[in-house]
């Protein structure tokens, strides 16, 4: 593991790994939330990095005001993250199935404050690059109908940027609900896309 620097750096690092170890491209890459932003950035940096791309719940409309509030808010609240009662409150807000709480708590406690602040700020300020328009991958965009307005608008913007992409609204689903809480449906979708 290394410290988080930026979405752009993470994308470049993964592309470098794929070039060095996997012949320069792969069949399919999926990304959720921050991972979806990194995937969008990878497609911007190397449009043929994969044949198929599945984007779930990606924010692509920057919110500099919200990002500016992250540092002061986290300075006060970060110590609470390690408190189980507080972690359970956060966990409930994410609407993740209860069976995953121990994993969530362990992983959240392992993230250093600077890294968490950096990736939350990056997540809130990410902007689509013009180079995304020349990507050659088959891009599928998914978002939950019960997600925040920014995610729903972002999904539409990504689709506008990539008119050949497919945009799917998931009825009754929240942020990350598809891959986290409905893994069988998600895997079925991945297999279907992969076979096309």
160-174 residue pLDDT tens: 999 999 999 999 999
pTM above 0.75, yes or no: yes
For the chain, the domains span 7-19+26-62+127-195, 64-120
Q: What is the largest CA-CA distance in the chain?
A: 49
Range with the lowest mean pLDDT among 112-116, 152-156, 161-165? 112-116
pLDDT band, very low/low/confident/very high, at 1 (cuts 50, 70, 90): low
Q: How confident is the model at residue 53 (pLDDT cuts 50, 70, 90)?
A: very high
User: 108-136: string of b/e by CB count within 10 Å (b at 16+)?
Assistant: eeeeeeeebbbbbbbbbbbebeeebeebe
Average pLDDT over residues 46-58: 98
Q: For the domain bounded by 7-19+26-62+127-195, which CATH number is listed? A: 3.40.50.1820
> In this predicted structure, what is the pLDDT of residue 66?
78
């Amino acid at each position: 593991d290394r410290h988080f620097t930026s979405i752009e750096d993470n994308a470049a690092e993964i592309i470098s790994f794929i070039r060095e170890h996997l012949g320069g491209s792969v069949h399919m890459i999926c990304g959720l939330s921050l991972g979806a932003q990194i995937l969008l950035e990878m497609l911007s940096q190397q449009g043929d990095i994969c044949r198929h791309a599945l984007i779930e719940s990606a924010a692509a409309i920057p919110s500099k005001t919200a990002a500016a509030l992250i540092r002061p808010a986290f300075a006060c609240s970060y110590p609470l993250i390690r408190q189980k009662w507080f972690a359970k409150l956060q966990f409930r807000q994410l609407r993740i199935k209860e069976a995953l709480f121990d994993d969530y708590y362990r992983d959240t406690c392992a993230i250093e404050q600077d890294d968490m602040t950096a990736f939350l700020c990056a997540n809130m300020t990410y902007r689509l690059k013009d180079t995304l328009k020349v990507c050659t991958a088959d891009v599928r965009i998914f978002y939950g109908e019960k997600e925040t307005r920014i995610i729903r608008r972002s999904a539409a913007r990504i689709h506008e940027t990539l008119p050949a992409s497919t945009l799917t609204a998931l009825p009754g689903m929240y942020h990350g609900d598809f891959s986290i809480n409905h893994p069988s449906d998600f895997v079925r979708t991945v297999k279907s896309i992969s076979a096309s």
